[in-house]
Amino acid sequence: MAGKDVRIERDSMGEMEVPAGALYGASTMRAVLNFPISDLRFSRTFIRALGLIKQAAAQTFVEMEVLDEKIGQAIVQAAQEVIDGKLDDHFVLDIFQTGSGTSTNTNANEVIANRASQLMGGDLGSRLVHPNDHVNLGQSSNDVIPTAIHLAALLAIKEDLVPALQNLSGELRKKSDEFWPIIKTGRTHLQDATPVRLGQEFLGFAGQAENSIKRLGRAQEALAEVALGGTAVGTGVNTHPEFSQRTCRRLSQTTGVLIRETENHFQAQSTLDALVEASGQLRTVAISLHKIANDIRFIGSGPRAGLGEISLPEVQPGSSIMPGKINPVISESVIQVVVQVMGNDATVALAGQGSYFELNTLMPVAAFNILQSISLLAASANNFAEQCVKGIQATETGPSMLEKGLMLGTALSPAIGYDAAAAIAKEASSTGQTIRQVAKLRTKLSDAELDRLLNPEDMTKPSLEVRGGGG
């Protein structure tokens, strides 16, 4: 007899003791014992996606009169509790498990079946609602798990990452407008270049965030195509031919994200190609954030011995030994997220190579990594916008150094030629004089002509009158 803290559940392999209050059953318990590998678990977003699929599947089969309506309604209600996060404690399996995610699909089937049985007045383990015959009706782990990964990623992109990037873009645009009047020395190859508006630099940052949203649109397009309906190997055995189309339509209506049945189940089910593509877009977003965060911390370096053209919000002490030191910690946080996302992308790419014949067998680790990437990018983009970008202030350093810039000599090229302008720049560099001072000595240009040619504001916009090249 089982003790009072456990109960006996059964699966196709026989009896298992499970915790008395657990909603999962024997097969999940076997997986708990088989995979004591790590503390990594599927995310809330993924569990929600599984609940949405199980709920929509039950609704579809009730609608098609394949599933008993009372059982179907109990499944729908139990699945809603999964969707709402009320049953998360019963999803207990390690990420490092069976490569198809079968253990987690079974976990979901058993949790929903037992909870639905309770809702129908039965005891745990009574199987009034059966995990396979009812909850998993017309499905297989091999099409449910990849569909859940796609759906979870789509939801996380739509609800978390896109709004975060919109927030970041908006704050960068505000700073671009604020800093537009400020003209400073541009930099290429880490060396002085022709003048640029500080607002133009921030406009470039905003454009990166906006293009990141467009790139996510392409990821969403790839993820919209799902494997649901292919069952075991892509043939659709043991399911209704209209099941996937109807269920996908229902999922789209419920979630507000586009989900559609693949036109080729054999490729959708036997590969992670769409996931690899989406992860690549996330990697590009991460690299864009690295550019923005890194430039901002360098532009704000100092405050006295660095560039110091902007001041960053002082959010915490920067040193345990140097009093008064403040570090660009928010930018550093973003950059660390970028490193993690790039590592995750490598994992997803390698997982994509785990596709053999009719099935990929590295799905759980791919799911964990891509969903973590989306979550980290969303959180860091929001934090960067709120804790750093919002509080950035311009200093006088950029404009004060502008007159000393050697690349102002570029504007002399149309009047005196490239070689003469280069000679002036070299002399200014060696003597410490400004371009204006040397040009006044070495050319016949009047003060008025020099004022016109060396106007830094004119050098921040296209002009047919300024024909000198840059490098």
pLDDT 10s digits, 263-318: 999 999 999 999 999 999 999 999 999 999 999 999 999 988 999 999 999 998 98
In a domain, 27, yes or no: yes
SS3 content of the chain, % helix, strand, coil (to 5): 60, 10, 30
357 and 443 belong to one structural domain: no
CATH of the domain at 261: 1.20.200.10
Q: What is the pLDDT of residue 455?
A: 92
Q: What is the pLDDT of residue 471?
A: 54
What residues are paired with 226 via a beta bridge? 261
What's the rounded Cα separation, in Å, for the pair 296 and 293?
A: 5
Per-residue tokens: 299: 């532009």
What's the rounded Cα separation, in Å, for the pair 64 and 243?
A: 9
CATH of the domain at 107: 1.10.275.10
45 and 190 belong to one structural domain: no
The yes-or-no answer on residue 319 being catalytic is yes
166 and 303 belong to one structural domain: yes
Which of 346, 363, 397 is the last residue in one of the domains? 397
Which of 376, 397, 418 is the last residue in one of the domains? 397
388 and 407 belong to one structural domain: no
128 and 253 belong to one structural domain: no
Contact 51, 249 (CB under 8 A): no
For 29, the domain range is 6-137
In a domain, 455, yes or no: yes
In a domain, 243, yes or no: no
Placement of tokens 């109960």 in the chain: 7
In a domain, 238, yes or no: no
149 and 129 belong to one structural domain: no
Nearest to 216 by CA among 178, 160, 148, 171: 160
287 and 357 belong to one structural domain: yes
75 and 181 belong to one structural domain: no
445 and 349 belong to one structural domain: no
In a domain, 373, yes or no: yes
pLDDT grade, residue 320 (50/70/90)?
A: confident
Per-residue tokens: 297: 């911390």
Contact 294, 284 (CB under 8 A): no
Per-residue pLDDT of 159-214, as tens digits, reads 999 999 999 999 999 999 999 999 999 999 999 999 999 999 999 999 999 999 99
What's the rounded Cα separation, in Å, for the pair 87 and 58?
A: 18
What's the rounded Cα separation, in Å, for the pair 232 and 386?
A: 47
The DSSP output letter for 157 is I
pLDDT grade, residue 319 (50/70/90)?
A: confident
In a domain, 465, yes or no: no
Tally of structural domains, the chain: 3
What's the rounded Cα separation, in Å, for the pair 110 and 3?
A: 21
283 and 361 belong to one structural domain: yes
The yes-or-no answer on residue 189 being catalytic is yes
- Helix (H), strand (E) at residue 310: strand 310-311
The Cα angle at residue 297 between residues 294 and 298, in degrees rounded to 5: 85
In a domain, 342, yes or no: yes
The one-letter code for the residue type at 251 is: L
Contact 82, 50 (CB under 8 A): yes
Q: What count of residues does the chain have?
A: 471
Catalytic entry in 12, 189, 320, 430? 189
Which of 91, 122, 137 is the last residue in one of the domains? 137
What's the rounded Cα separation, in Å, for the pair 34 and 105?
A: 16
CATH of the domain at 456: 1.10.40.30
pLDDT grade, residue 467 (50/70/90)?
A: very low
170 and 130 belong to one structural domain: no
In the predicted model, is pLDDT for residue 1 greater than 90? no
Q: What is the pTM (predicted TM-score) of this model?
A: 0.95
Contact 39, 93 (CB under 8 A): no
Segment 349-361 shows an average pLDDT of 98
In the predicted model, is pLDDT for residue 5 greater than 50? yes
In the predicted model, is pLDDT for residue 324 greater than 60? yes
Per-residue pLDDT of 7-62, as tens digits, reads 999 999 999 999 999 999 999 999 999 999 999 999 999 999 999 999 999 999 99
For 344-458, strand residue ranges (E) read 355-356, 359-360, 393-394
Mean pLDDT, the chain, as a whole number?
95
Q: What is the pLDDT of residue 257?
A: 98
Segment 151-156 shows an average pLDDT of 98
305 and 426 belong to one structural domain: no
In a domain, 180, yes or no: yes
Catalytic entry in 319, 400, 446, 463? 319
